[in-house]
Amino acid sequence: MTDIFISIAIIIIVGFLGSALAHRLSFPAVTGYLFGGLVLGISGIIATSTIHGLALLADLALGFIAFSIGSEFKISFLKKVGAAPLIITIFEAVGAVLVLDLLLILIGLPLPAAILLGAIGAATAPAATLMVVRQYKADGPVTRMLLPVVAMDDAAALILFSLSTAIAQMLIRKGDVSLAPMILEPLWEIFGSLVIGGAIGVLAAFFLRRFKNDGDRLGLALCIIMGGVGVATIFHLSSLLLCMMAGAVFTNLSKQTVKLIKVTDAVTPPLFLIFFVLSGAELDVTVLKSIGLVGIVYIIGRVIGKIFGAYLGARISKAPAVVRNYLGFTLIPQAGVAIGLSLVAMRVFPEYGETIRAVILCATLVYELVGPLITKATLTKAGEIEPKMKKPPCAEASKTDSSK
């Protein structure tokens, strides 16, 4: 137990150092956390078993991130933008799949493996994106469209992966395949998460009316997230989708959403720091040597598919020009869901599993380190990060303090 506490203290110190370096270089803090974690993992100061043992904190942080994204799904906003987020999500997810399938087949990858990698390419990691939006207080058409798109992206990825798995199974086993489990399992994961998440959101809105102080509100928030993640684990659901749905339902039923988010914002930064440092520590740089042509094509092809698909979806849905031109560049980060799907691919298709796993791990390493930088640059160019916010908030605060 003592080792765990010391490890957490080391992780927080590494996060502070990484963040300070990122601020000095005008990089997003999340890039500093990830880089610090990467160095920590390479150093071996903390045992790999200890890093894996802290997964509970990572799950809790991801639950808070998902709930926060869900709280952006206000009915008033959805009425205003209409079907645009859904249309863009479909096009950017399918765009990534089609471009990857085509390119991977062209370089000679077996058709089943190409189909599976293409489907995994649809997934996007919302955590790093949200951290950039929060740190720089980004706001505008691109940011407002970005949050619902990344929220729906994982559901799209699960559906596309289930369909691709069925197709790959039929190609390999020549029709001797039971399609029902492959279709029903992801449907249960998606719709079960939405239904239970919605129920948790209703209960949270009901109980929050009776809480009058911030301490009680924080206790309720912890109950929502811990309960949601726990239920998702027991019933093999998506904790991301479940917590997002809880946040979406809660924000539309309660007038105290701002109060709850405010109290959680005061205590979650250290949790997010630990989450991203742990994410960086779990990145394995040794897989880079095995990336090969397939990995390079995957990394580049997915970005092309996301950008082109988002542009096309925004154009069809008549989204503003700034959304058409910039949204795709903010959809680069990829992490947890993609890694999870690669593990499923390894189990179902052992003949291609190692290749798929190595490619996804390499891509995650690149996307997670580079993605936040591109997101910040894109939102800045779109005019949604104020010039004064390009300098990290803590730097501004220290200047203010020194002038007193």
Six token digits for residue 90: 């479909």
Question: Which tokens sit at 214?
Answer: 């911030």
Note the pTM of the prediction, 2 decimals: 0.74
What's the pLDDT at 288? 66
**CA nearest to 248, candidates 323, 286, 293, 194:** 194
Under-70 pLDDT residues of the chain? 1-2, 173-183, 287-291, 387-404
309 in Cβ contact with 149 (< 8 Å) = no
**Residue 397: what pLDDT?**
40
Rounded Cα–Cα distance for residues 130 and 179 (Å): 36
Which pLDDT does position 59 carry in this prediction? 82
Could you tell me if 280 and 35 are in contact, meaning their C-beta atoms sit under 8 angstroms apart? yes
Q: Using CB atoms within 10 A of its CB, is residue 39 exposed (0-12), middle (13-18) or buried (19+)?
A: middle
Q: What's domain 56-274+288-387's architecture?
A: Up-down Bundle (1.20)
Q: Nearest 5 degrees, angle CA 156-CA 159-CA 84?
A: 30
Beta carbons of 183 and 141 less than 8 angstroms apart: no
Q: What pLDDT sits at residue 74?
A: 82
For 215, the token pair is 């301490």
Burial class (CB in 10 A: 0-12, 13-18, 19+), 85: buried
Q: Do 377 and 27 contact (CB within 8 A), yes or no?
A: no
CA 244 vs CA 5, 28, 65, 75, 135: distances in Å:
30, 24, 8, 14, 20
Between CA 97 and CA 157 the distance in angstroms is: 9
